[in-house]
Amino acid sequence: MLKHALSLEERKTLIKNLSKDKEFKELLLYYMQISKDIGHKRDEEERVNYSAVMEHQNGEQRNILMLLQQSLSLLEHHQMYVKNMILKKCDAKIDLFEDFSQQEPQGDILFENIMILLTEHSNIQKRYIEESIAELLIYSLVNLDLI
C-alpha cells in the first residue's frame, strides 16, 4: 500500500515534533543500548567459540555457545523491532518486516551510519543524546523519499 508523500509543511512539522519528542529520544537510546549489548554478546560468543575450539568442543562450551547464540538472536530481533518503530515515527518508507528486496537499501545504510555516529557522541548511561546528530537522523529519515 503506497502512502502519499508528505508535503513540505508536513515534513517541517514532523521534524520539529520529533526533535522535541521524549519518547522518540528514548527509542534512540534504547536502540543504542541494544546495539552495545549485541556487540558485547558477539565478543563473548567469539571468546567462547575460540575456547570451545581450543578444548575440542566439550559439551559445556557447546551449551554456553548455544545459549549465547539464542540470546544474540533475540537481541537482534528486538533491535530490528525498535529500529522499525524509529523508521515508522519518521514516516520512512521502509518496513523491516516486509520484503526488503523491494525497498531502497540506502535508507537502511543511512540509518546505520548515523546511529553509529550518534552512539559515538552520546552517553547512554547519562541518557544524553547529541541533539545535532539526532536531528540529522530525523531530517534524513523524514526526507528519505527525496534521496
Domain assignment present for 51:
no
Kindly report the pTM of this predicted structure.
0.82
CA distance 95 to 80: 10
pLDDT-derived band of residue 1, with 50, 70 and 90 as boundaries?
very low
Q: For 114-126, what is each residue's pLDDT tens digit?
A: 999 999 999 999 9
Domain assignment present for 31:
yes
Domain assignment present for 101:
yes
How many other C-beta atoms can be found within 10 angstroms of the C-beta atom of residue 40? Answer: 11
Per-residue exposure over 96-117, b if at least 16 CB sit within 10 Å of its own CB, e if not: eeeeeeeeeeebbebbeebbee
Q: Which domain holds residue 126?
A: 8-37+76-146
Domain assignment present for 107:
yes
Do 65 and 49 meet the contact criterion of CB atoms below 8 Å apart?
A: yes
Q: Give the number of domains in the chain.
A: 1
